[in-house]
Amino acid sequence: MSCFIGIDGCRGGWIAVSIAAGQRSFAIVPRLVNIPGLAEARAMIDIPIGLPERGYRDCDTQARQMLGVAAPRVFLGARRKLLGFLPEDFLAASLAERGAALAAANAAAKGAGEKGISVQLWNILPKIREVDRTITPEMQDRLRESHPELVFQRLAGGNVLPRKKSPEGRRLRRDIVAAAGFADIELWLSRLRKTGAAADDLLDACALALAAREPGGALRCAATDARGLRMEIWY
């Protein structure tokens, strides 16, 4: 494998950072299928792959244990049945329609004895659905789930970093990716204005590209989901 890509969701769709043949680049695209070189690369993406019917994924609870005080940075509760409550065109739906759909999803979950879902998880469900409609068990050898907080923790020698939106957290993440070969990171950050991507999206994608090139390990569930997808988080 000679091309490695880190993918993170952003307001503009997806931000993808590539490491290939000594060159590094990034692109912001509206859909996953538009990412340049994805079919030939090994990629890490910060979106749950493999959805249980109920309960929490073991890999998510393991990730929370690894992060300790920063455990809430890993969202819990992604389940396959929740996708059925999403408006088909989520972005075109009104706030009232989205709110009604979330209320229905929470009511159904609680009626089945499950915990409700957070607003943060609800807001990334459209991207979870997009990945779920794209991924197959065979594709998981080259398109893998990751989590940038775990990657940054590993790159920082096991230390949990401050919140990524804090000045100190952003500085430390910028320093880590710069030391790992992203010499143009300051220039890249300066080009994000009005792109639909934020600084933390780009820094996360850089970390995921580094993990795609050289993963440090994986947290795994014992079983696959109903589609045969492995539930695992690489870092």
Break the chain into its structural domains and give their ranges: 3-50+140-213
What are the C-alpha distances in Å from 12 to residues 51, 64, 86, 202? 25, 28, 19, 12
Cβ atoms of 81 and 105 within 8 Å: the answer is: no
pLDDT, one tens digit per residue, over 102-111 is 999 999 988 8
pLDDT, one tens digit per residue, over 130-182 is 999 999 999 999 999 999 999 999 999 999 999 999 999 999 999 999 999 99
Look up the pTM and report it. Answer: 0.94
Measured between alpha carbons, how far is 235 from 153 in angstroms, rounded to an integer? 9
Confidence check: pLDDT of 115 > 90: no
pLDDT, one tens digit per residue, over 34-68 is 999 999 999 999 999 999 999 999 999 999 999 99
DSSP assignment letter at 63: H
Helix (H) or strand (E) holding 95: helix 95-111
Measured between alpha carbons, how far is 143 from 195 in angstroms, rounded to an integer? 25
Measured between alpha carbons, how far is 232 from 141 in angstroms, rounded to an integer? 12
Cβ atoms of 79 and 53 within 8 Å: the answer is: yes
pLDDT, one tens digit per residue, over 211-234 is 999 999 999 999 999 999 999 999
Measured between alpha carbons, how far is 229 from 197 in angstroms, rounded to an integer? 29
